[in-house]
Amino acid sequence: MRFLALVLVCLGAVRAGTPANWTGNYSPCNRHSELLAQGHLDLGVRVSTANPVLARQFRRAMDFWASILDLSWHEDDSENCAVQLIDGETSLFEPEAIAARSQLPDRSNFQGWIAFNPRKSLSATELYRVSIHEIGHLLGLPHSTSASSVMYGFELDDQDWLEVSDIEALSTHHTVRRERAGHPVRLSVHP
pLDDT for the residue 9: 45
pLDDT for the residue 3: 44
> How far is the C-alpha of 183 from the C-alpha of 158, rounded, in Å?
19
pLDDT for the residue 17: 62
All residues at 6 or more sequence positions from 184 whose CB lies less than 8 Å from its CB, including other chains: 161, 162, 163, 164, 167
Domains of the chain: 4-15+27-186 (3.40.390.10)
The strands making up 113-116's β-sheet, listed across from edge to edge, are 71-75, 41-48, 83-87, 113-116, 100-102
> 10-residue block means of pLDDT along the chain (191 residues)?
43 57 94 94 98 98 97 97 96 89 94 96 93 96 90 74 94 94 86 62
pLDDT for the residue 6: 46
